[in-house]
Structure 1
């Protein structure tokens, strides 16, 4: 049987041989004592890349996001974000649980919000209202089909936040995909954000880990919150080494994932069961099935052909390309997409 083609997420990647070799050679120490040299190298490397003062290595992007939100809010504050935001939809209500903050939801275009949307949602000083204290952006936008913010879009949001006394955090789970797609400079990001979460275990292909970037003061506070959340790791340099390898070897190749996603988009648009496909910018392909079909039915039919993917709604399906997907796999998937006959309802 041919290999399974797994489009469910870019989190399913396996470490490459070169990454595994680098991990096994890592110099390590006790990171809770701040003595792991490889963790320090990773944190310093990413902070320097994005023009930030410091970084903190954590087990997951959910943790880095929730630590940042706790750093930048107080109980009874309010967080402003898009209604599709990962921090709101997919982090188990962590904003309420960890930070005791409420959420003001915006309805951006494919998850992209603008200053004009934010301005009327900033609360005035009134005893009836929570204090608006933080805006969170997501780049790329998962639920938006991998839609990208450019720095030109981010800059006015940052200016508004500074003028309004709000902090600005970036959920950069797939930020390197956005950088490859837009050509923007990573070094410029530090000008605009108080916190940036960088995930290493998606398109970059590391097995575990995210890094929170911020000011030295923010990261000192974040270290204690990480400990509170149970995220203090010991000889985590073995994992950090994978992140360093990914940054050195797996960034430019993200363009290949983007091309594969665009090829899938073209194939899907030619079928008689797809209503439309969200414009593909990076490595995420989300499509809506036509009336008479269901996402569940399409997913089941693809699974029978050895192709795994996931639903984002009752009539929407998501493919995510990654380093575990070869050109040959894309060709096979496109062939099956073209002849697929999903069950109708």
Structure 2
């Protein structure tokens, strides 16, 4: 670990437990000193604050991996084009970020930490700007809702068709805005299918709690509505060079990218066995099981293992999905793809570590279902 990496991680531990207050202070500094920037952000800042901290933590954690660091930040720069961020605004954000870190770390903040964050942010900004400048695509696309299905009490499958060419790889996700309901509020969703000739794609959406965009998509959106979608992101894509068998672990609507990967495999796979563990609270939450069962019947290399954590006697595997994965195996020679809520992904990764699965064989996507 380099000195820069060590300083970044050490200093982050000083403020990590104060993330909510830190993000509030950060935005307050920006809007106080540059009030005209407030119009770029949604009326409610809760989701935006969480994304800011998530992006910072991810950037800090990927400093150890230069290739992933570069890819992630260039993609983040492309994604931020939807906010119409200009190069001078990157300087504003960097100054506010370092001032906020200094304020919350208090006496434990050192000149070395300060310089490390300035150096790191300079790299972050330059890579994000380079990614934005190199992207020939528009900042976002209009996309029409062409189908809307309610699959359970709070889950909908929304099919949209962009008004223009939008390329993506199975396993990726993109940001969605419902401008007629909640302007300037963006929410990320994984694409649930491999590319189609008509350009349409499915989004699996759960409406929970204060999920403004998710609630609008599930309960209010209808065929004919126009959404905005930003550039696809994410690296949980299929490793076609590998010959290893595959285990896919999906929790809740984390099934979406897993389903897209299965569709891609169906176009060429003949030799790799694929085990798919699908976790849900109860049988009602196994909202796409019939479609998956049809896929398993069509592809002899595909095996499904549905798991319910709170539905005793439902007829299948019971308990946490990480526990179900542990009961099967061995898995040391398999490639893993894991998608679901952060707690579910963390639990699964711990189990895979205990099962001696190499981290080099694991690709994952953690997101919040609301």
State TM-score, norm by structure 2. Answer: 0.24
Higher RCO, Cα 8 Å, sep 6+: 1
State TM-score, norm by structure 1. Answer: 0.26
